[in-house]
């Protein structure tokens, strides 16, 4: 019979589905390890964020509740944050722009939702969705609300919409918009098609 240790050693890392893991080092630093579908990873220190700000990392090994503050009225996150009422309330979210495919809106009585089911595929025309999405963000801003933009992981579709918004409404170049969004939410990574479409986008 195999011992437990042998079973653990024989367990392929590729079979693990977990996307991110919170690790506390011996010195007490907290690091968030992220792993993409291709096995590539990145590590980010998370303990320097002000825990009192409300919009930061929540210590939970399975959920991604990090909210990127792009502008005071514009936030970027994953579906985990969009489904977490505590996070939504802390961040004073009033409007939610859901650009995921097949993700339900959990709080229709409390929040104003707009849903566009966008597929995270390089051939999807992301720029054709920008006008509608930007109008909804403008509506939230005019009502002095806060809009949370999310997809499934908060990495490709939603960040592309937010980058497009900054280009369209603030006249930023693609590089400037991308860098601002990346700074607010370091895990963002538009798929290659979206990246190229936004690079070539002329509002």
Active site residue 151: yes
User: Which domains does the chain possess?
Assistant: 1-48 (no CATH), 63-199 (3.90.190.10)
Q: Which of 65, 59, 56, 14 is closest to 35 using CA atoms?
A: 14
Indicate the pTM of the whole model. 0.70
Residue of 55, 91, 151, 159 with catalytic role:
151
- CB count in 10 Å sphere of residue 165: 26
Give per-residue pLDDT as tens, 150-163: 999 999 999 999 99
Which of the four pLDDT bands, split at 50, 70 and 90, describes residue 36?
A: low
What is the chain's percent helix, strand, coil content, to nearest 5? 35, 20, 45
Rounded to 5 degrees, φ, ψ at 160 are -65, -40
Give per-residue pLDDT as tens, 101-153: 999 999 999 999 999 999 999 999 999 999 999 999 999 999 999 999 999 99
Share of the chain above pLDDT 70, in %: 69
Q: Which of 88, 81, 202 is closest to 146 using CA atoms?
A: 88
């Amino acid at each position: 019979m195999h011992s437990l240790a042998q079973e653990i050693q024989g367990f392929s890392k590729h079979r693990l589905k977990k996307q991110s893991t919170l690790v506390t080092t011996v010195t007490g630093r907290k690091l968030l390890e992220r792993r993409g579908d291709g096995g590539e990873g990145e590590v980010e220190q998370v303990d320097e964020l002000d825990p009192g700000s409300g919009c930061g990392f929540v210590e939970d090994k399975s959920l991604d509740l990090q909210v990127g503050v792009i502008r005071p009225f514009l936030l970027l996150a994953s579906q985990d944050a969009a489904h977490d009422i505590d996070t939504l309330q802390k961040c004073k979210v009033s409007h939610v722009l859901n650009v995921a495919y097949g993700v339900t809106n959990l709080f229709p009585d409390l929040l104003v939702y707009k849903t566009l089911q966008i597929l995270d595929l390089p051939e999807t025309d992301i720029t054709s969705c920008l006008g509608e999405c930007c109008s909804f963000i403008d509506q939230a801003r005019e009502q002095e609300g806060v809009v949370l933009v999310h997809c499934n992981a908060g990495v490709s579709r939603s960040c592309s919409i937010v980058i497009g918004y900054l280009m369209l409404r603030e006249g930023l170049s693609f590089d400037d918009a991308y860098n601002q969004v990346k700074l607010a939410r370091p895990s963002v990574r538009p798929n290659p098609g979206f990246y190229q479409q936004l690079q070539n986008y002329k509002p």
